[in-house]
Structure 1
Amino acid sequence: MRNPIHKRLERFETWQNLTFMACLCERMYPNYRLFCQVAEQPENAKIYQNILNLVWEYLTVKGAKINFETQLEKLENIIPDVNEYTFFGVVPALDACEALSELLHAIIAGETLEQAIKISQISMQTIATLLESEQERELSETDLKSAVEIQEELDVQWQIYRTLNEYEERDIDPILDLKAELRTAGISNIGVEID
């Protein structure tokens, strides 16, 4: 599904794209956490959260020295195998891991635009997959565009974009504000809440 925000991300600086990605990963984290609760792997949820915390630290602490190759290895060890689980929750959990993996690759390689677009698409895809699973049919682009859940996700992505777009220079305040706002809300892109 085409998302007009992708064209706009081309104008972003690296820090803005990385923050945009971190925000979307933050929104997918409750999906992974719920999966870990059901699969009885609470330590994996902590690892995911820690890696994401290090990304926020990298974005907000000047001169933070973090080995993201090591973090990527840690993440690769906690990616669920879809074939081992029969419940739907493994799908959004896998998407959350894929998104965080893209974010880490972006930091390591210093290439952010493609990854920002990809994470935006992954987040939308999680919602589309859930809707298709609930309705037991494949949804057309028109079906998806008119879905409330997709509209809400687009709104959130635009809101994050607009917040970051107000700043020409790298600024820590909007980064911390976005992180705090998403953590306080504690609701994922598919409506999973952190209690």
Structure 2
Amino acid sequence: MRNPIHKRMERFETWQHLTFMACLCERMLPNFELFCDVSKRSDQAKIFQNILNLVWEHLTVKGAKINFENQLEKLEEIIPDVNQFDFYGVLPAEDACEGLSELLHAIIAGETLEQAIKLSQLSLSTVATYVEMQQERELNEQELKNTPEIQEELDVQWQIYRLLNECEERDIELILALKNEIRTSGISNIGLKFNQ
């Protein structure tokens, strides 16, 4: 699904792309946490959270030295195999891991625009899959766009984009505010809330 912000993101600097991606990963985190809770792997949820915390640190702490190749290896060990589970929750959990993997690849390779667009689409497709699962049928693009869930996801992505777009230079306070707002709300891109 095309999101009008993709074209506009071409003007973003690296830190803006990475912050946008970190926000989307933060929104996907509860999906992974809930899956880990149900499948009794709460230690894996902590690993995911720690990796994401390191990304935020990379964005806000000047000169933070973090080995992201090492973090990517840790992440790869906790990606759930969808064939081993017969419940829906494994899909958004796998998407969350894929999203975080895109973010780490973006940091490592320095290719951020393409990864940011990919992650934006991934988050939308997680929501689309969720809506179709709820309605027990496939929906065409127009039907999907009209659902409140997709509307909400597009709105949130647009809101994050707008706040970042207003910055002339890296704004640590804004980055932290975005992180805290999403984390405090604790609501995932498919509307799940995981209470520890």
**TM-score (normalised: structure 1):** 0.99
* 1:14-163 alignment, distance < 5 Å: 14-163=14-163
Whole-angstrom CA distance in 2 between matches of 1:36 and 1:97: 12
How far 1:144 sits from its partner (Å)?
Answer: 0.6
Alpha-carbon distance, 1:131 to partner? 1.1
Counterpart residue identity of residue 169, structure 1? E
| More deviation, 132-141/110-119 | 132-141
Q: Secondary structure at the match of 2:137?
A: coil
**1:137: how far off?**
1.2
- 1:67 positional shift: 0.1
**1:106 Cα deviation after fit:** 0.1
**1:192 equivalent in structure 2:** 192
Name 1:175's counterpart in structure 2. Answer: 175
Q: Displacement, 1:15?
A: 0.2
Give CA deviations for 1:31-56 in whole Å, capped at 9, x if unaligned.
00000000000000000000000000
Specify the SS of the correspondent of 1:40: coil
**Larger displacement relative to structure 2 (125-134 or 46-55):** 125-134
Q: For residues 127-166 of structure 1, what are the alpha-carbon distances to aligned partners after superposition, in whole Å with 9 as ceiling and x for unaligned? A: 1101111212111011011000000000000110111111
Q: Secondary structure at the match of 1:10?
A: helix
CA distance in 2, matches of 1:186, 1:133: 22
Runs of at least 5 residues in structure 1 that lack an aligned partner in the other structure: none
SS at match of 2:126: helix
The amino acid across from 1:102 in the alignment is: E
| 3-state SS, counterpart of residue 78 of structure 2 | coil
**What's the CA shift for 1:171?**
1.4
Aligned to 2:165: 165
Deviation at 1:194, TM superposition (A): 2.3
TM-score by length of 2: 0.99
Which stretches of structure 1, 4 residues or more, deviate above 4 A after TM superposition?
none
Identity of matched residues, %: 74
Letter in 2 for 1:88: Y
The two structures, once aligned, show a CA RMSD in angstroms of 0.5
Find the aligned partners of 1:139 and 1:123 in 2 and give their Cα distance. 17
Q: Describe the SS at the equivalent of 2:139.
A: coil
Alignment coverage as a number of residue pairs: 195
- CA shift, 1:172, in A, is 0.4
Amino acid at match of 1:86: D
Alpha-carbon distance in 1 for matches of 2:179, 2:169: 18
